[in-house]
Amino acid sequence: METVEASSGWGVLHLFYDVDPDAGDLAAAESILGALNSFTEQAPHQVCTFAVLGHKAALGIMAIGPDLARLQALQYALNRSPLIPTWSYFSLTEASEYAMTADDERDRLRAEESITDATEIETRLAAWNERIEHYREQRIHPQLPDRKAISFYPMSKRRTGTDNWYALSFAERKNFMMGHAAVGRRYAGRVTQLITGSTGLDDWEWGVTLFADDPGELKAIVAEMRFDAVSVRFAEFGPFITGLVLEPAVALRRVGVSS
């Protein structure tokens, strides 16, 4: 199988299924588990399996990795099982074009923390640079977290009248997004966010995947962000799907596929 990789970023495939109740036997479970194991046996390809809450699907599978051909092969293998596709979404990991720079952080230290000593500013910047490099690496080459709950939704920026995101200057857009990011940082340690790009690849412009141990935090972060200025004026949201993260064999048993 010929490898297909993007010049930047990994492929992210969200797959959602119902289950054929008359075909979920031991052989079916072994076939599905075999497909998942075959996908992940070549690092850094990863999967997250979850039992979906609500009737949009029974089972969710989030697959991520650099080789798009490997993602497609997994999708095909799963489609030959008792799993019945209900929806899917494809995107690529990406770095934010609005990420803070060292100059932004230097200005913030002076304005928000009233730090004027040049040595202290450079010391703080060194620590900031280390954190931001880890953050950027996690955006492009993420390691899926071990959390109990997951929520996924696609979204786009509005392009209507005076609320046309793409008619704004870069400086205006960055100012909006820095305020938005400040909300997300308040949930650090409680919610892990993975924002992936899908412009030209799927129906929306981004996919947002949130992980948390407390499902209430998933609700809280989205609710708070909707009051942020960039969401109030420009955000368009697709369907939300929420599930309970489980080991693959456990997830299959939970949705009626024996293993």
Q: How far apart are CA 215 and CA 52, in angstroms?
A: 13
Catalytic pick from 76, 89, 98, 153? 153
In the chain, the amino acid numbered 228 is D
Residue by residue, what is the 3-state secondary structure of the chain?
CCCCCCCCCCEEEEEEEEECCCCCCHHHHHHHHHHHHHHHCCCCCEEEEEEEECCCCCEEEEEEECCHHHHHHHHHHHHCCCEEEEEEEEEEECCCCCCCCHHHHHHHHHHHCCCCCHHHHHHHHHHHHHHHHHHHHHHHCCCCCCCCEEEEEEEEECEECCEEHHHCCHHHHHHHHHHHHHHHHCCCCCEEEEEEECCCCCCCCEEEEEEECCHHHHHHHHHHHHCCHHHHHHEEECCCEEEEEECHHHHHHHCCCCC
- CA angle, 14 then 69 then 252, to 5°: 40
Instruction: Specify whether 17 is catalytic.
Output: no
**Known catalytic residues?**
153
